[in-house]
Amino acid sequence: MEVIFILIAISLILAGSFLYLFFRAMKDGQFDDNHTPAIRILFENKQSKIDKKVPTNKIK
């Protein structure tokens, strides 16, 4: 029974340390995307739904 308490304590400490490291990495900008904005101009844009709904005035 004592082993379960030790394992729970170790798992809580481990989970807390991973959570701390995750938030520290988020604060430092580890997961910021610096590459995609530079190459976004190279991708072809698809037409939005708003453009498709605009009626055209055709004179017959």
Q: Give mean pLDDT, residues 17-28.
A: 95
Alpha carbon of residue 60 to chain centroid: 51
Report pTM.
0.53
Of the two residues 7 and 32, the one the predictor is more confident about is 7
At 38, the pLDDT band (50, 70, 90 cuts) reads confident
pLDDT exceeds cutoff 90 at 57: no
* The dihedral formed by the CA atoms of 47, 50, 56 and 57, expressed in degrees to the nearest 10: -150
Amino acid 23: pLDDT: 95
